[in-house]
Chains A and B, each alone.
Chain A
Amino acid sequence: MSAKIFGSGIRRREDPRLVTGSATYTDDITLPGMVYAAMLRSPHAHARIRSIDTAAAAAAPGVLAVYTGADTAEALAPVPTAWLLPDSDLQVADYPAIARDTVRYVGDIVAVVVAESRYQAYDAVDLVAVDYEPLPAVVDPELASRPGAPQIHDGIAGNQALHWTVAGGDVEAAFASADVVVEERIVQQRLIPNAMETRSAVARFTRASGELTLWNTTQNPHIARFICSAVTGVPEDRLRVIAPEVGGGFGSKIAVYPADFVTVFCAMRLGRPVKWTETRSENYQATTHGRDHVQQVELAATRDGRITGLRCSVWAGLGAYLSTAAPGIPTILHGLMLSGVYDIPAVKEDVYGIYTNATPVEAYRGAGRPEATFMLERLVDRLAGELGLDPAEVRRRNLIPRFEDGHPVVTGLTYDSGDYPAALEKLLAHAGYDRLRAEQAAARERGRHLGIGLATYVEICGLGPSQVAGAIGFQGGLWESAIVRFHPSGKVHVFIGASPHGQGEETTFAQIVASEVGVSPDDVKVFHGDTDNTPMGWGTYGSRTTAVGGAALALTARKIKEKAKIVAAHLLEAAVEDMDYEDGNFFVKGSPDRGKTIQDIALMANVSWNMPEGVESGLEASTFYDPPNFTFPFGAHLAVVEVHPETGQVDLLRYVALDDCGPQINPVIVAGQVHGGVVQGIGQALWEEAVYDESGQLVSGTMLDYALPRADRLPEIEVLSTVTPSPHHPIGVKGVGEAGTIASTVTVYNAVMDALRPFRVGAVTMPLTPERVWRAIQEAQGG
């Protein structure tokens, strides 16, 4: 049993409580005497606050207090960013939890009302009278960087938050000597992460002890505690952050938000527990967005399709303020992946991080890597078109050959392991690529426009060595820790610092322990999300929970196994070196039927009647695991679409995803992660866009306007894999949470552009709505 539990698609233990509605989310927390906060948010993208009159709101039924920026200015330190990117001239703008003189995006907090009921709080919010002096606003990052653009923060010229460069090889020479250069201007539109659960906080402050408990929808409760302590002044030892059930994050729950601090402030001021839960409209305005790049990209190549250089400039919109991890997303997590799965001798990228009058931008599933993969894979298709070569063939000519233990690339990274050619060939064979091309040609004869899109990718996951974290300005470590505790009956508690919120690690982590020490996974309970009863950890994002936390856990389980072997040897009156192990049974070599089970040993270690000399009581171990390198999952995706030229409609007919995340602990969970990621990436290609008008109003402000992917518009996703273990990871795993999003956007985009090849259209801005596709055809035809 236990030998097979690793790799078994057992059902997620999380699901029964989730699908029956019995899970407890932050908004389900109700405390005696609790009152409710509602935020008044700016309706202007950029305005000076002339005055605020709170009298009518304060006098409204049920209202306990109305606070403005004047009240919080002393009590709350500025909202910090936690990624102080070096060598980038980083300009960190003052980020007050409640705006004081100026509002800088639609959604900036202007005041908070606390009332006995939610309805009373919202009624009173409508009574706060604010006199605004509207100012010119700018939401496009490229426009915001130009001379004469509205100035968003005093003293930050050109609205430039950072300018970061990555370069390797002689890129000027590469372009000067290139046989062919292709280029494209790409817009990675702003996206709204749309976690199913909106953000929420419940704060309880006990004046007598000075203790604060914050229930919060966060991906990283330990980071939240660290930052919340710094902003509110509550010492870390008196501050407990609990992430109860968290209904998805996709990066939007990495940040610690102004509203969280304001909720804490209200609880401390009033001495009553305060709950704040955002509405969906508020979520759209004020919870972080993703992407928002304008990219100008050039690729140099030889006549036979070998890539010799990549050069690009990226204007990354960061929104009105720097969110927690914002500076690292379009730089470290983006620029370092520039050369992808290819051996490109020379690259250079300039990234300009730009303040705009829009919602702050954070990590969004993939976080920088989809934007990098898109540039490269789009340009590879352009190159294929320019040279009249098949897109698959151009990729073949450039892929890094198989490597098992380290391959340095031009951006300075060393990829851990990969077999990119095998991934591509398996994908093409499964999809029947040559047959698809023949079908495409036949369909064109009949007037139908099929398109086939391809992308290969590699991503950087398993963040990461803490020494690197320090070198790149991340204001924290990037290790993970785990505690494994055996109880007398052989049941196991696991405590981890990471904080899964939908990914299924309560199940897969039980599988890791089960496979290492031979217990049933049903006997292993995994605890996470509470800073008072879990060890420190740096959170769940960047596909790192299994890649880093899973390593900590596997090593801890191995320590348990080593100790168990010593105890078993003692009980069997044998030498440790004579011991053998199989499936939870510790026995003297050759005598498996007279062994001690792990449960026997757990009991004997806990009662401690007869322990070996010098061995501590109990059966418990812990590990702090700091990875020696990142992990580099990779894969290749293929999409088939049909475009209807008379309306511009796109039908997605087929999607095949091959992802290599190393050994799969639970292939059903891996497939689920791939499905979700692929669909989110397809959403960017075809449907999703946070639309602001020129004055900075969020036009796509509700789910009636913002088009999320729907099941009836999607084909069955065909999930394939190859298995290339990471050489430096105890169980070889690389992480899979973001894999699907890395390649799927550009795969679908390439497919649509392939279908449009007969029309010779230029670039089409995402999402590829019917009107945009139709217009591109009309313009190409001179219509």
Chain B
Amino acid sequence: MFAPQFGYHRASSVAEAGELLRSNPGAKLLAGGHSLIPVLKLRLAAPPALIDIGRLAELRGIAVDGGSLRLGALTTHAELAASPELQRHAPALAQAASVIGDPAVRNRGTIGGNVAHADPASDLPTVLVALGAAFEIAGAGGERTVPAAEFFQGMMATALGDGDLLTAVVLPARPPGQGQAYVKFAHPASRYAVIGVAAALTVSDGACTAAAVAVGGLVPVPLRAPSVEGALAGGPVAADALAAAADRVAADLGDDLIGDVFASAEYRRAVAAVWVRRALEAAAQAA
């Protein structure tokens, strides 16, 4: 529990953080530190330097602009969970943020650090994939925006390259008639998602006019569930219809499922549909 030696730099602007990243090969960005510090303390990594971006005010805050939300990368999970804007415009994200870890983790951990770490058992990426979020990245060659579906590339692997700094997450505000939900089967020790499901159902006159469903936790990268979405679109949101749609998730999971001592891949595959159904029911209820 004692980290190896590392250099420390505190950036005073996003631009300076980028320069420090590029002039310190192998350096890691330090925001909330809730993924990075344990890795250092367990001596699983020994980066030569940390670049502290934790005090960059320009990376903070939640802004609503017309039909979209912009979340600064340093916005903490606690801020996400407590935000009235988020509860109104992206309630699934607020819900997911409220069930990360425990209060201490939520007070320190940030959305930027969370998605950049891309832990497959994390909660926020699943919601961001379902809601069609995009990520603003400041890199050596300027700024660019990457959609969530392209951002998450593998277990703990993202579109972020050397010298890149994630500055914000943007996502569309909830349209009228859309209900959202995030449910998770939490690991009893870590509280990471063994299975996490995000659902957004737009309902009109008892029928589902649009559906977005993503699953995480049991797959290396959060996945949209097109079979489930297809079964829902145009159909009723009655319990049996939701259950039938949820059962389709098996076709969307692929072959590469995560398993561990607590919950095997086989078990997770077998019960995934139950958790999808619970998410669909909650989303339909909220619509």
Contacts and interface: CB of A to CB of B under 8 A. Distances in A.
A704 B189 contact: yes
Given A119-B2, A122-B2, A279-B1, A647 B185 contact: yes
B271 A774 contact: yes
Contacts of B4: 123
Interface stretch (A433-441, A538-546, A705-713): A705-713
B145 interface: no
A774 B43 CA distance: 37
B188 interface: yes
Contacts of B185: 647, 770
Interface string B1-21: 111110000000000000000
A705 B191 CA distance: 10
Contacts of A279: 1-2
B274 interface: yes
A646 B243 CA distance: 13
Contact of A704 (B2, B190, B263): B190
A769 B262 contact: yes
B239 to A, nearest CB: 13
Interface string B243-269: 000000000000000000111100100
A710 B190 CA distance: 11
B238 interface: no
A741 interface: no
B42 interface: yes
A728 interface: no
A523 to B, nearest CB: 40
Contacts of A280: 1
Q: B1, B263, B264: which has the most chain A beta carbons within 10 Å?
A: B1
Interface in A335-362: none
A707 B189 CA distance: 4
Contacts of A647: 185, 271, 274-275
A706 B188 CA distance: 8
Q: A647, A648, A770, A771: which has the most chain B beta carbons within 10 Å?
A: A771
Contacts of B43: 126
A281 interface: yes
A646 B271 contact: yes
Interface in A675-694: 686-687, 691
A279 B262 CA distance: 24
A770 B263 contact: yes
A118 interface: yes
Contact of A703 (B2, B189, B264, B271): B189
A699 interface: yes
Contacts of B271: 646-648, 770, 774
Chain A interface size, as a band, is 20 to 34
Given A646-B274, A775-B267, A706 B5 contact: no
A673 interface: no
A700 interface: yes
Nearest to B267: A771
Contacts of B270: 774
Interface in B86-121: none
Contacts of B274: 646-647
Contacts of A122: 2
Contacts of B5: 119, 123
Interface string A765-777: 0000111001100
Nearest to A117: B2
Given A280-B1, A281-B1, A281-B42, A771 B262 contact: yes
A705 B263 contact: no
A699 B2 contact: no
A775 B270 CA distance: 10
A700 B188 CA distance: 13
Given A699-B261, A771-B264, A774-B271, A708 B189 contact: yes
Interface in B150-206: 185, 187-190, 192
Contacts of A771: 262-264, 267
A648 B270 CA distance: 11
Q: B42, B185, B188, B263: which has the most chain A beta carbons within 10 Å?
A: B188
A496 B185 CA distance: 49
A705 B1 contact: no
Interface in A431-475: none
Interface of A: 118-119, 122-123, 126, 279-281, 646-648, 686-687, 691, 699-700, 702-708, 710, 713, 769-771, 774-775
Given A279-B1, A647-B271, 12 more contacts: A126-B43, A279-B2, A280-B1, A281-B1, A646-B271, A647-B185, A647-B274, A704-B192, A705-B190, A707-B187, A707-B188, A710-B188
14 contacts: A119-B5, A123-B5, A279-B2, A281-B1, A281-B42, A646-B271, A646-B274, A647-B185, A648-B271, A704-B189, A705-B189, A769-B263, A770-B263, A774-B270
